[in-house]
Amino acid sequence: MTDPLRDPWAAPMRLALAEAAQAAVAGDVPVGAVVLAPDGTPVAAGHNEREATGDPTAHAEILAVRRAAASLGEWRLTGCTLVVTLEPCTMCAGAIVQSRVDRVVFGALDEKAGAAGSLWDVVRDRRLNHRPEVIVGVLADACADQLTAFFRDR
């Protein structure tokens, strides 16, 4: 979907893919996320830790957003970008809206649980007070391949 040589989001997505690989090693679904400061500097990252922690809310996006807020000392992540390997679910989409992230960049679509355009579109719901920009399909094949390999091996 995207040309990695011309896409400014390819490098941060590679960081998110590396995070996702850490989840897979721990037996979690390989989803990774990185939060970028307004200047594009990575400020926080996370990968799925549900299996590792026994916490059903330990999705990559939730952990990355929490860590970014702690790092920046502010719950409002205005100007920040969340880069994630898989389309956020409804829980994560709600956290994205609540954190005031300006932009969500994701790789693979999640047609079974996606809430940023596939099944639902929570992040762009006009009834909400904050609607981040959404950029879809960055390194989509690499993101999807990582997930496919994980589930094939299980």
Known catalytic residues are 61
How would you classify the pairing of strands 42-47 and 81-86?
unpaired
- Collapse the DSSP code of 86 into the 3-class scheme (helix H, G, I; strand E, B; otherwise coil) and give the result: strand
Q: How many CB atoms lie within 10 A of CB 66?
A: 18
Question: Which DSSP helix (H) or strand (E) runs through 103?
Answer: strand 103-108
How far apart, in Å, do the first and last CA atoms of the chain sit?
A: 27
Question: Which DSSP helix (H) or strand (E) runs through 69?
Answer: helix 60-72
Number of Cα atoms under 13 Å in the Cβ half of residue 146 = 27
As a residue count, the chain comes to 154
Closest to 46 measured CA to CA, from 95, 96, 82, 75: 82
